[in-house]
A = this chain, B = another copy of it.
Amino acid sequence: MSPERLTAFSDGVIAVIITIMVLEIKVPGEEAGDTFKALVPMIPKFIAYLISFIYVGIYWNNHHHLFKLVRRINGSSLWANLILLFFLSLIPVTTAWSGEHYMSKAPVMLYGIVLMCCGIAYRYLVVTLTKCVKDNELLSEGIGDDFKGIISVVIYLMGIIAAMFYPPLGIVAYAAVALMWIIPDRRLETKIAHHKDE
């Protein structure tokens, strides 16, 4: 099977996820008034929205780069992709909770656990696509040993543990992983470029 509909469906789900997050940012109520001061309590929520928008954006970017090198998919990769979408769909609600309670350990740890699950699910998707499906040799070469993916999970774990003692440290760790990934996977981009030249 070719991956056109899988990418179209994933685009749809990710587009809805990235957009419904903004529904969490509510208009200040009547009692809060209509001044710039009314916006001050919304700042942590806004920052949480910004971080999660970047995260979902990163996943969309990497998903986009990944499937540029995928020629065929099978039933297992459809499910691996759905598992990734499932964990991505949990980002909005955990974002909203830790945006409201960024000084509390439970919300910040839960946010880190969901981000780590996303990372593992993405890795599982890559493994499924490279190991179980023929015709994706190009991808296997492009991905290599996935040093960045392993490092991310380690930093997530460190962030989750750090959040047990001082929650904002966890958020710093998650932001560090985001920064590391903002640069799209150069290995794949190089591979795609080489492939097109041949």
Binding site for B on A (CB under 8 A): 1, 5-9, 11-20, 22-28, 34-36, 38-39, 50, 53, 57, 60-61, 64, 67-68, 74-75, 78-79, 82, 85-86, 89-90, 92-93, 96-97, 100-101, 104, 106-107, 110, 182-184, 189, 192
Contacts and interface: CB of A to CB of B under 8 A. Distances in A.
Nearest to A53: B86
B9 A89 contact: no
A69 to B, nearest CB: 11
A16 B14 contact: no
A20 B28 contact: no
B107 A192 contact: no
Contact of A35 (B23, B38, B106): B106
Contacts of A75: 61, 183-184, 189
Nearest to A86: B53
Contact of A13 (B19, B78, B106, B184): B19
Contact of A97 (B17, B28, B78, B110): B28
A13 B18 contact: yes
Contacts of A96: 27
A31 to B, nearest CB: 13
A85 B14 CA distance: 13
Nearest to A167: B34
Given A13-B19, A16-B20, A93-B25, A39 B110 contact: yes
User: In this complex, which of A9, A82, A189 has the most chain B Cβ atoms within 10 angstroms of its Cβ?
Assistant: A9
Nearest to A184: B75
Contacts of A14: 9, 12
24 contacts: A5-B7, A9-B14, A9-B64, A12-B14, A12-B16, A15-B16, A16-B16, A16-B19, A16-B20, A20-B23, A22-B90, A26-B93, A27-B96, A27-B97, A34-B97, A34-B107, A38-B106, A39-B110, A57-B79, A61-B75, A61-B78, A61-B79, A64-B78, A74-B189
